[in-house]
Amino acid sequence: MRRVVVTGMGVVSALGSTAAEHCAALEAGRSGVGELEMPDVERLSVRIGAQAREFRGEDRFSRSELALLDRATQMALAAADEAVAQSGVSFAGEAGLRAATVIGTALTGMGTIDEAYRAVFQEGKNRVHPFVVPRLMVSGPTSNISMRHGLRGPAWSVSTACSSSNHAIGQAFHMVRAGMADIAVTGGAEAPLVFGVMKAWEGLRVMARDACRPFSRNRTGMVQGEGAAIFVLEPLEAAQARGAPILAEIAGFGMSADAGDIVQPSAEGAARAMRAALEDAGIAPEEIGYVNAHGTGTAANDRTECEALRAAFGAHAERLMVSSTKSMHGHCLGGAGAVELAAVIHALREGVIPPTINFEEPDPECALDVVPNEARRAELRAAMSNSFAFGGLNAVLVARRFEG
């Protein structure tokens, strides 16, 4: 089995349009949540979200390209361009034949669907744009990234609700480690901040109307966000041979299914995924210094995740730093795990643990070190990223600081 490293990272989020901007905002504890700007927002009872306001597809793509690209795909392409450029890798010739593309997303095409429905039902039009179908396909980000960069190896999309990105990155990691691909471009993207999606989520009664306060006793729910993060994964030997930047090492990946309730999480299922990731990485629980939690800011998730952390880490849970960056960039649904892996990689490289902002009151059922409100300096050897989805679909990544 080959060691797998990250040699490129690109991010678009409510915190910035590059990985550097995203990570700088995390260090500063800056919130990307604000009043939503969208048609019919006055008809929503929840009017806040983490919009990537600085990202404009019109500034990056031609008019003919935009006709084929939903907003989620636009953000995925921008992040992929950044990641590939940083990696310095070329997919020309035979290299492209062994290059995989694995992208996670849960609701790709929601902006396209919203626009088409408005055209037909609200404006009374008899036809929609001829490219509505390719724009809304869940495979849109994968297809467009592979075409843009000449990635001709295995390519597919993963859609497992809020665990989509971690499942995608984990599968890409296993492929490169096992030699099924020589390099992979992987991550996730989501652009759910449209009227129809927001109205649907209101019906679940899990949305906050003021701020996302994970692990705080007075939390009132989650806040939707949009964004994308893409990574280049390759074997350590190949990266070293071409002098590529090595940002971190992906060490392990674990999955589990609760096989229980469609919306209520299971501590036992989440703990099994964490144990599986640690076992896959060959890392003892005590070596993990930081966990980027799923941390949605709902009572059910926060308390269940804290219980699961104690079950997976035992006494070491009391020494773990556990934060939720969703408090800053919102819940990016299928893109969440990728945006959060960027935070983990930054923490490993720079020794800065991103905070859980908006924290006000300790919750006795979440009595862990949640790094409240301010970033913290700490040297890490290894860290974990959790993603737990509706339907009980759990995916956990373990990353390690690269030390040669």
What stretch of H or E contains 160?
A: none
Q: Cβ neighbours of residue 200 under 8 Å, at least 6 residues apart?
A: none
Residue with tokens 């941390």, as numbered in its chain: 295
- The DSSP line for 91-121 is -TGGGGGGEEEEEE-SSTTHHHHHHHHIIII
Q: Cβ neighbours of residue 231 under 8 Å, at least 6 residues apart?
A: 6, 8, 9, 10, 83, 169, 185, 186, 187, 338, 341
Instruction: Give percent helix, percent strand, percent coil of the chain, each to the nearest 5.
Output: 40, 25, 35
Mind telling me the catalytic residues? 162, 294, 331
H-state helical runs in 118-243:
132-136, 140-149, 164-178, 195-202, 236-241
Q: Hey, what's the torsion of the CAs at 257, 263, 268, 272, to 10 degrees?
A: 30
Residue type, 55: F
Find the distance separating the first CA and the last CA of the chain, reported in whole Å. Answer: 17
